[in-house]
């Protein structure tokens, strides 16, 4: 299956430069790693790996927050609070 994707990439002639730029954009979205030297070049493999880990982290956070909300919701009347929340969130 990966061989057919390889063929597709060579057909569309994606330049290395394009990929480098896109990877750079991704790199900027990732959270800072304290002990890494930000001026050092990151390999594509590293950026992809970090990106995957970050997405997994975000999925887990959505999970965890959904869990907390499910417990909090049961004790609150959402209707009256809703308007106030919307206002405070959008400020």
Partner 1 sequence: VKNPSSSLKSRFITRFLGALTKTNAEDPISSPSPTRIFQRYRRIKVASNKSMAYSVRSRRIWSRALLSRFRSRRSAFSGRRSSVKTTNCTTSPPPALIKVTIDENKTAKGGLDMQTDELRELVPGGEAMDVCNLLDETAHYIKCLTTQVQVMRKIVDFYHHSK
Q: Does 74 bind partner 1 (CB under 8 A)?
A: yes
Backbone φ and ψ for 66, nearest 5 degrees, come out as -65, -40
- Measure the CA–CA gap between 86 and 33, rounded to whole angstroms: 33
Residue 66, Cβ neighbours under 10 Å: how many?
9
Site string for partner 1, 39-68 (x = CB under 8 A): --xxxxx-xxx-xx-xxx-xx-xxx-xxxx
Q: Does 12 bind partner 1 (CB under 8 A)?
A: yes
Picking from 47, 43, 56, the residue whose alpha carbon sits closest to that of residue 29 is: 47
Q: Does 91 bind partner 1 (CB under 8 A)?
A: no
**Given 3, 32, 35, 37, the residue binding partner 1 (CB under 8 A):** 3
Q: Does 86 bind partner 1 (CB under 8 A)?
A: yes
């Amino acid at each position: 299956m990966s061989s057919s994707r390889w063929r597709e990439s060579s057909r569309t002639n994606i330049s290395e430069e394009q990929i480098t730029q896109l990877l750079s954009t991704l790199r900027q979205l990732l959270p800072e790693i304290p002990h890494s030297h930000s001026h050092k070049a990151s390999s594509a493999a590293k950026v992809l790996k970090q990106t995957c880990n970050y997405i997994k982290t975000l999925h887990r956070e959505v999970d965890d927050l959904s869990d907390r909300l499910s417990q909090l919701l049961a004790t609150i009347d959402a209707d009256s609070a809703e308007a106030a929340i919307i206002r405070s969130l959008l400020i």
